[in-house]
Structure 1
Amino acid sequence: MSTEVRSGVTPRRPPPMAPMGGLRYGLVLLLVAIGLGLLGGRIAILHVIDRPFLQGQGDARTLRTDTISAHRGMITDRNGEPLAISTPVVTLWANPQELPVDSIQRLMLARALGVELDALNERVGRYGEREFMYLRRQMTPEAAQRVLDLRIPGVYAQNEYKRYYPAGEVTAQLLGVTNVDDAGQEGLELAYQPHLAGTPGQRRVLKDRRGRLVRDLQLLREARPGGDLTLSIDQRLQYMAYRELKAAVTEHEADGGVVVMMDARSGEVLAMANQPSYNPNNRAGIDPRGLRNQAIVDVFEPGSVMKPLAMAAIMESGRFDRDTVVDTSPGWMRIDRFTIRDIRNYGELDMAGILEKSSNIGMSKLVLELDDPVVPDLYRRLGFGQSPETGFPGESTGSLPAPVRWSRSQWAAISYGYGLSVSALQLASAYTAIANDGVRMPPSLLRLSEPSSGMPVIEPDVAHDLLRIMEESVQPGTGGRRAGVAGYRVAGKSGTVRKTSASGYQQNVYRSLFAGIAPVSDPRIVTVVMIDHPRGGEYYGGAVAAPVFSRVTGNALRLLDVPPDQRVR
């Protein structure tokens, strides 16, 4: 008998399970299959189709292409002494969105940067929606490292270069300056920007999310430094010329002045000093007048320093020679509506006497005897009214009117240096023709590997005669006697010119000039000095500019080891 029977209990059987419908089962499988398909498809898209994009995005957050700064070329004097060099500096920048809002950290950052906390917070607020702002540019590496040592999030460093000028104000107007991005803005820095500027390099680096360098991966392009520039300037002569010019401007309470010294044989500019000046290494409170290189950019009526050049044209005409005598009595003459005067009645004067006494009457009578425009023609051959072609930004051509329908007074005025305008550099270049056997040397601000051949503009015999005539103008007892240099023979001419304004010539406002050559026996140096508006009581060129010429030229001859003349008069 079975167990169920023996117990007398009939067991309950579980209800049979309902079989899953085929439709629902198929739907579940379909959904699972679709999910797996979508997942697999997405994986395939990420790994195959979108891989370059995603890899690029990832690299952009870790790989960087950094710029390698290239230093600017050095500017040196003719002897290799540095006049402009680039020094390494560090620029600090920040991501405003990463900078901490903690006031203590902000205060530490402000103090390290040397700024007020309020000013820093104001700048951060202004750039708050951006990812870049400068904190401080061109810091010394030591000062920048003190800021970086604070380890403040969002603060980064960038290596750059800054221009430094060892000679400071002595060469400021000639060299010019660069801006905060180390690009030339003035002077030779601007003129030779393509040559001096380096070519930055590039490298691929790995950085963390805070922009810190993890690994240097690959050099893409090497940085190429800028080319060096060798000037014709002799730093020793430049310092000396600047010192003497500054002392003279101060002594005579003048508005400013210029000294230009040229090598008579090559045309190279050995010194070019300007007053007022400025310190290019610290440009705070710059006097705008000190920014211009007056020797090249500014022009003026030259006055009596043009008389030797006009006399060269007169002698070349064949009508007159050095022994010609002119009666300048009674010391004045009426031409057209104008009266031309000498300081006093000098009576009869030969050519040397006309230059020594600086007779306007003598020069006027000589030039009015000529029919041809020989004087303006020679002026043009000497480079007046034309660009000096030095490449200096803003160099002036001056003004030399064409001799068309000139009145007699205009012919007379141009013979004693009025009615035209020149720069000090043009004047110095013109005087090289007298010093160099009639050959004018074009000016050069760069050291020349080979001297220029020059341009013959005056007959050699006339240039020799004129040099001797000019020597007599600086002998003891003459107006130019203060230009003399002990041990050397000097030739030159002084000039005193009334300055002009919009209403005409000004009363008691002058420019004092002296242009000279030394040594006469074997000319080596041409020097031009211009003092603008001296107020110290003296204003004649022989009293104000000639002493500067004497000191500058004498010191230069000795520094250059030029032997004394064999015969000193």
Structure 2
Amino acid sequence: MSQDKTKIIMKRRIKYIIITMVLLCILLLLRLATLAAKDNSEIKTIALKERALRGDIISREGYTISRSIKNYTVSIHTKYLDPNKKEFFLKLFSIYSNIPLDDLKSKFYTKEGKAKKGWLVLADNIDAKEAIFLKELKYKLNRFKVFRGQGANKNFYYGLTISEKGENREYPLKEALSPILGYTRPYYSDGYKHIVGYNGIEKFYEKYLNHKQDGFISGKRDAVGYIIQNADTIYKRKHNGYSLVLNISLELQKNIDLILDTYKQKLGAKEVIAAVMRSSDSKVIALTSSNRYDPLDIQADQIANLQPKATSYAYEPGSVMKPIIYSLALEKGTITPETTFNTFNGKMWVGKYKITDDEPEPQLNAEDIIVKSSNIGISQIGWSLTNQEFREGLRRYGFGKQKSGIDIGNESIGKFYSLRKLRAKINRASNSYGYGMVATFSQLLKAYNVFNNGGVSVTPRVVNYIKNDQNKKFYLKKDFTKIAPVSANTAAIVKNTLLEVVKRGTGRAAQTEGLEIGGKTGTAMIVGKGGYEKRYHASFFGFVNDPEGNRYTIGVLVIEPDFKHHFASSSAVPVFKKIVDAMVERGLLKPNLNREQVEEIEQKRTLEEIKVKEVQQKQVKALKERLREQREAIIKEQKRTIEKRKLKKQIYKKRREKKGADTTRVKQFSPPPQTPDLF
């Protein structure tokens, strides 16, 4: 009986053991399946993001002014580098990356001399061109098995890893189009460097330039890390930001840059600003300043130049306001060009305030008040308007708190007297000749375009259109409407008066044979803490037309010229004239000239080209000299380093000799395995 019980118990135990073993086997198989699935998902299947870039900014002629490029980081995992081929790897990487061999070796050790483990960055901030060379090296290193797998999966390893770090903004032409171009700053998201626009066009069109979408590719990877292209591979195309194509002509812009640089020095000015705009559609083909900067190398003394003063600098414009008031009175019918005013021989009292003229006259008609720039005369023309007519007329031209709307941003607003303050005759008088109010350069440029465009005001535009990766063009919907501050008839009368200013008034220095040129000078004192000081703004706003229908509005502002040149007729007008000459030379204007005049212009152009070539040759020579000096400095530094090493070895040898050590014995390193010659 006891034996039967024993047998039953033994059978039960065997049964339990078998069930337990079966369960353990099932659990083991499930675990192995899980590991295999994990290994397959984490190692063999990968997804790579293809980063999109910020859009480019391109000139009218197709020159790239601003663009984004990717930069890369090159790293390795020390665990997967074959120790027997480490020296071979270092020599090859040094050749491909141009990093000195000693510098590379030092990256593998801490300051205390301990070997680093894990991920190791060998090169940072590598551009796309260098990345291509290093990717070629990566293929060769994989072929020669410089890296090898570890552990159970011998076929998996991390080789030379070249990963995107972010994007950098490039300005190939450096200071070209600054300050209106603006600049960029980086910001980081998920460890990746992005670019955002600051100031100027870069900021104004931020939503288009940065309207981008990253792409990606997902699929199985092979043993060396490349994605296997097959039916299971998922690919999504990247979309870069929109590129901007400008109305600005880079060639004309650079030409005007040279003119402004020359006259800034010649006039002893703080800054000179100039713009050229097509009168018919307000496309700005040049807008520049003498105070430019390299967006990638902004110096401390250039901080004040970061904001484009064409839009951000509001100032008392002076006599360039006189044609505006003249046009308002003509429009209301309170005067005609022949209406005569008593100008009191250059001195007129308004209560306790005295108004004076630089050229005293007993009387002048309305047209000659503009031609001779009479403060006394324009004051009386301003008084012919009611307070409401005066203020609303200025508002129709876009003065006061309205902005010109030009697409470079950072735009300040102007200011003139309120209706209540305009009741005082002296306030209306001072506003009439451009004092007691402020305006921006862009507001004045837009206003003067009215006289050369049939009385119609159109918002100035720097950007012509945007385009995507497939070069499809998109013309932005205009966020402005055409405004007619005065009638076409009034605009024509003012235009003829401005032609007279150049023929026989303060703008005579702007005359050019075969072209129709009109405009108005403005010289205004600058107000300081204690009142008006002997510092000046000198400006000239006008237009130039040729017989073939080319029509342009041009503005020039000289900020604080020396006293010798403080009158606009001797500062801003000569700059205007030089800009017109440059436009003739470039074929933008075609004057009606005889053969002798054409030959004279051609001769001047040849002389200018010779001067430009001489300057370029000097620049090339200076560049070669700098490169030579840099090479010499590098060679000298290399020699110094070699000498230091020799000296260290000698010191070390002497110390060893003193200790009686064997200085001839050198640690032997096993040579790397024989490999085929790569070169």
Report if the CA contact (8 A) 2:329-2:384 is conserved: no
Q: Deviations over 1:415-440 (max 9, x none)?
A: 01122222212111111111112111
CA distance in 2, matches of 1:461, 1:141: 61
Match in the other structure for 2:175: 169
Among 55, 59, 71, the residue aligned to 2:41: 59
Match in the other structure for 1:27: 13
User: Counterpart amino acid of 1:276?
Assistant: N
State the secondary structure of the residue aligned to 1:277: coil
Report if the CA contact (8 A) 2:218-2:227 is conserved: no
User: Counterpart amino acid of 2:195?
Assistant: A
State the secondary structure of the residue aligned to 2:558: strand
1:471 paired to 2:487 = no
Among 344, 349, 353, the residue aligned to 1:334: 349
Match in the other structure for 2:385: 370
Among 136, 155, 163, the residue aligned to 1:158: 163
Report if the CA contact (8 A) 2:406-2:442 is conserved: no
State the secondary structure of the residue aligned to 1:439: coil
Report if the CA contact (8 A) 2:47-2:217 is conserved: yes
Q: Deviations over 1:41-94 (max 9, x none)?
A: 3424654xx57xx6256422343211113344333333444333445x441154
Match in the other structure for 2:667: none
Among 555, 561, 569, the residue aligned to 1:542: 569
Q: Deviations over 1:455-510 (max 9, x none)?
A: 2221222222211211222235x432222223323111111122234x25452221
CA distance in 1, matches of 2:492, 2:61: 32
Report if the CA contact (8 A) 2:421-2:427 is conserved: no
Q: Deviations over 1:209-255 (max 9, x none)?
A: 9x843645624311123333222212222222222112211222322
Q: In structure 2, do the counterparts of structure 1 residues 418 and 56 end up closer, same or farther at CA, with 3 Å as the change threshold?
A: farther
Offset of residue 25 of structure 1: 6.6
Aligned-pair identity (%):
21
User: Counterpart amino acid of 1:515?
Assistant: F
Offset of residue 311 of structure 1: 0.9
Q: In structure 2, do the counterparts of structure 1 residues 135 and 22 end up closer, same or farther at CA, with 3 Å as the change threshold?
A: same
Offset of residue 378 of structure 1: 1.8
State the secondary structure of the residue aligned to 1:429: helix
User: Counterpart amino acid of 1:517?
Assistant: F
Q: In structure 2, do the counterparts of structure 1 residues 90 and 437 end up closer, same or farther at CA, with 3 Å as the change threshold?
A: closer
Q: Map 1:125-524 onto structure 2 (within 5 A).
A: 135-142=123-130, 145=133, 149=137, 156-159=161-164, 162-180=168-186, 181=193, 183-186=195-198, 187-197=200-210, 198-206=212-220, 212-213=225-226, 215-216=228-229, 218-280=233-295, 282-283=297-298, 287-385=302-400, 386-406=402-422, 407-447=424-464, 454-475=482-503, 478-501=505-528, 503-519=529-545, 524=551
CA distance in 1, matches of 2:112, 2:414: 52
Report if the CA contact (8 A) 2:71-2:168 is conserved: no
Match in the other structure for 1:552: 579
Gaps of 5+ in 1: 1-18
Report if the CA contact (8 A) 2:267-2:561 is conserved: yes
1:91 paired to 2:91 = no
Query: Would you say how many aligned residue pairs link Structure 1 and Structure 2?
Result: 540
State the secondary structure of the residue aligned to 1:174: coil
Of 188-197 and 260-269, deviating more is 188-197
Q: In structure 2, do the counterparts of structure 1 residues 433 and 225 end up closer, same or farther at CA, with 3 Å as the change threshold?
A: same
- TM-score using structure 1 length: 0.82
Among 69, 73, 78, the residue aligned to 2:55: 73
Report if the CA contact (8 A) 2:308-2:410 is conserved: no
Of 33-42 and 522-531, deviating more is 33-42
Q: In structure 2, do the counterparts of structure 1 residues 147 and 517 end up closer, same or farther at CA, with 3 Å as the change threshold?
A: same
Report if the CA contact (8 A) 2:178-2:288 is conserved: no
- TM-score using structure 2 length: 0.69
Q: In structure 2, do the counterparts of structure 1 residues 78 and 157 end up closer, same or farther at CA, with 3 Å as the change threshold?
A: same
Q: Deviations over 1:306-336 (max 9, x none)?
A: 1111111122221211112222224233335
CA distance in 2, matches of 1:286, 1:124: 42
CA distance in 2, matches of 1:120, 1:314: 82
Gaps of 5+ in 2: 142-146, 148-157, 187-192, 466-474, 598-679
Q: In structure 2, do the counterparts of structure 1 residues 300 and 144 end up closer, same or farther at CA, with 3 Å as the change threshold?
A: farther
Report if the CA contact (8 A) 2:398-2:443 is conserved: yes
Q: What is the root-mean-square deviation in Å for CA atoms of aligned residues? A: 4.0
CA distance in 2, matches of 1:174, 1:124: 51
Q: In structure 2, do the counterparts of structure 1 residues 551 and 391 end up closer, same or farther at CA, with 3 Å as the change threshold?
A: closer
State the secondary structure of the residue aligned to 1:456: coil
CA distance in 1, matches of 2:268, 2:180: 24
State the secondary structure of the residue aligned to 2:280: coil
- In terms of fraction of residues, the more helix-rich structure is 2
CA distance in 2, matches of 1:486, 1:319: 36
1:563 paired to 2:590 = yes
CA distance in 1, matches of 2:304, 2:111: 34
Answer with 1 or 2: which has the greater Rg. Answer: 1
Report if the CA contact (8 A) 1:352-1:473 is conserved: no
Match in the other structure for 2:602: none
Match in the other structure for 2:26: 40
Q: In structure 2, do the counterparts of structure 1 residues 438 and 206 end up closer, same or farther at CA, with 3 Å as the change threshold?
A: same
Offset of residue 561 of structure 1: 4.5
Offset of residue 345 of structure 1: 2.6
User: Counterpart amino acid of 2:483?
Assistant: M
User: Counterpart amino acid of 2:309?
Assistant: Q
Report if the CA contact (8 A) 1:96-1:124 is conserved: no
CA distance in 1, matches of 2:126, 2:353: 61
